[in-house]
């Protein structure tokens, strides 16, 4: 079993950035010049900034980015593919590998040392020689305490999975009992518009810990490769100047970033004062 921790995931920018096509798309709408002349025009940082600040971000959809990711858990995969326009190629977990597929997991470090106890009937247990455990215990001891941690759970699932493979059960069926901690690897493709929208939600402190880690790493790569497109990208509070979560605002942000309701109240007070 290969084990990694939340935060260890890796993100690579495969394509995107460098030459920015948003300004070509923006010029195309209103320019009377020929397409060749538009394409030959010098890049305009100011035009890109104006398009983004205006909120008319359709032109931003002509810049596309492809990322490769690994070292993230299925917990994050489920959230990743929700509610955003994107392309995904996710490494198959059902293809037959004849037991050669490594059992890789990603977990938060704070659950590693946690243990729980369960009372189990003694008659469930046998020794290696086939004799019952109850035969070796004093009369009346019909229950035993099983103390186990995350390591024990994962080891049990791995052994169960490998036994199934050895017995010829299809891996696409065995994977139904794999934990959400199972690592997934993927290629992600998004245009700049979808990315900017995605960053607003997933870079927020209210986002689940691991997908926020993924989003922040993707954001840093975008800022490095296309700074004009992503200068103001980030969580909603960066773009809006306030937090739209209101009563659901993250506790770390309370008193530091005004909520939408507080912003509206401030605007009304200023309007009334005028």
DSSP secondary structure string, 83-127? SS--EEEE--SSS--TT-S--EEEE-GGGTT-EEEEEEEGGG-B-
Among 42-46, 153-157, 219-223, 235-239, the range of highest mean pLDDT: 219-223
Most confident stretch, 40-49, 217-226, 240-249, 259-268: 217-226
Q: Kindly name the residue from 27, 196, 200, 202 that is annotated as catalytic.
A: 202
Let me know if 202 is a catalytic residue. yes
CA distance 135 to 121: 13
User: What span, in angstroms and rounded, lies between the C-alpha atoms of 176 and 243?
Assistant: 39
pLDDT single digits (tens) 105-131? 999 999 888 999 988 888 888 888 989
pLDDT for the residue 99: 61
pLDDT at 231: 93
Q: pLDDT-based confidence at 84, cuts 50/70/90?
A: low
Confidence of residue 218 (pLDDT cuts 50, 70, 90): very high
Whether pLDDT at 103 is above 90: no
Placement of tokens 């004799």 in the chain: 131
Quick: pLDDT tens for 243-258. 999 999 999 999 999 9
pTM given for the model: 0.87
Asked if pLDDT for residue 93 goes beyond 80, the answer is no
pLDDT given for residue 155 in this prediction: 92
What confidence category does residue 227 fall into, taking pLDDT thresholds of 50, 70 and 90?
very high
Beta bridge partners of 117: 147
Q: Identify whether the C-beta of residue 49 lies closer than 8 Å to the C-beta of residue 55.
A: no
Return the CATH number of 2-92+181-236, one of 3.40.50.2300, 1.10.10.10, 3.30.1360.170, 3.30.2130.30. Answer: 3.30.1360.170
Task: Flag whether pLDDT at 189 surpasses 70.
Answer: yes
Q: How far apart are CA 8 and CA 11, in angstroms?
A: 10
> For helices 192-202 and 209-225, what crossing angle results, to 10°?
140
* pLDDT band per the 50, 70, 90 thresholds, residue 66: very high
3-class SS letters over 16-73: CCCCCCHHHHHHHHHCCCCHHHHHHCCCCHHHHHHHHHHCCHHHHHHCEEEEEEEEEE
Q: Report pLDDT for 63.
A: 96
Q: Which residues, 6+ apart, have CB-to-CB distance to 223 below 8 Å?
A: 230, 231, 233
Domain positions in the chain: 2-92+181-236, 110-177, 241-274
pLDDT for the residue 260:
94
Mean pLDDT of 63-80: 94
* Whether pLDDT at 102 is above 90: no
């Amino acid at each position: 079993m290969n084990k990694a921790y939340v935060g260890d995931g890796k993100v690579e920018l495969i394509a995107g950035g460098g030459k920015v096509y948003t300004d070509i798309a923006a010029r195309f709408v209103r320019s009377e010049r020929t397409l060749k002349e538009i394409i030959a025009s010098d890049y305009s940082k100011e035009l890109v900034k104006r398009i983004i600040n205006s909120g008319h971000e359709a032109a931003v959809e002509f810049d596309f980015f492809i990322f490769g990711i690994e070292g993230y858990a299925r917990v994050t995969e489920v959230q990743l593919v929700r509610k955003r326009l994107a392309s995904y190629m996710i490494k198959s977990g059902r293809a037959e590998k004849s037991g050669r597929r490594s059992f890789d997991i990603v977990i938060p470090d704070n659950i590693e040392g946690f243990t729980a106890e369960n009372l189990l009937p003694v008659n469930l247990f046998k020794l290696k020689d086939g004799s019952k455990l109850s035969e070796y215990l004093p009369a009346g001891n019909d229950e035993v305490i099983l103390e186990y941690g995350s390591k024990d759970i994962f080891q049990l699932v791995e052994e169960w999975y490998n036994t199934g493979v050895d017995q010829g059960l299809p891996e696409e069926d065995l994977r139904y009992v794999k934990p959400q901690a199972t690592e997934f690897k993927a290629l992600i493709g998004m245009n700049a518009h979808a990315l900017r929208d995605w960053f607003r939600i997933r870079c927020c402190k209210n986002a689940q810990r691991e997908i926020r880690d993924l989003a922040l790493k993707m954001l840093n790569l975008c800022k490095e490769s296309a700074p004009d497109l992503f200068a103001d990208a980030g969580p909603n509070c960066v773009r809006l100047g306030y937090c739209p979560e209101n009563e659901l605002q993250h506790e770390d942000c309370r008193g530091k970033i005004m909520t939408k309701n507080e912003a509206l109240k401030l605007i009304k007070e200023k309007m009334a004062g005028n």
